[in-house]
Amino acid sequence: MGNHREASSGCYTAMALLPLSDAGKRLAQQEHRRLRRDADILTQWNGEAIPLAALDEQALNDEDWRELVGFAFAHRPLLTSLGCLHRLLQYSALPLPALRGRLEEKASDAELCARLRISGRKALLALQRAQAAQALIALDAGRTQLLRDVMPGGGDHAG
């Protein structure tokens, strides 16, 4: 499900999966479960109810860890990572003002740049990635490094 309304229709984008193989069925089930896990967060974020039963699973699972390492150390977008980032913030006692400001307070990029005295969205995103990395390392440095090592490119893109 998309994070922004389309300019032409005012609707959010969505993707449907039609599995044609056993692997496709597993993928569809995995993505359906992810959507159910993230449903409440997506509803809070975009104000649109998602017509399915949300799962109340707040523990960070293996998929969350992979997505979080992809955000912190590579190029995974922040808004694509909303669910797992919200769950990370629930587990972290660190202040993480750039991440908490955007995700919990829904402060705009401009507001956060002014508040944190940084120049521009690119610098803000770099700080958000660094804060996600800091939170992951604080939770489990070994797991973070292991996942970073197995990323395509070794996770050398950021951080």
In the chain, what are the domain boundaries? Answer: 1-57, 62-155
Mean pLDDT of 115-131: 97
Out of 24-38, 47-61, 89-103, which region has the weakest mean confidence (pLDDT)? 47-61
Q: Is the pLDDT of residue 9 over 90?
A: no
For domain 62-155, the CATH superfamily is tRNA(Met) cytidine acetyltransferase, tail domain (1.20.120.890)
| Burial category of 142 from C-beta neighbours within 10 Å (exposed 0-12, middle 13-18, buried 19 and up) | exposed
- Least confident span in 46-50, 67-71, 73-77, 84-88: 46-50
Is the pLDDT at 67 greater than 50? The verdict is: yes
At 159 the pLDDT is: 47
Question: Among 84, 36, 29, which residue's Cα sits nearest to residue 61?
Answer: 84
| Chain Cα centroid distance, residue 122 | 17
Mean pLDDT of the chain: 87
Residue 87 has pLDDT above 60, yes or no: yes
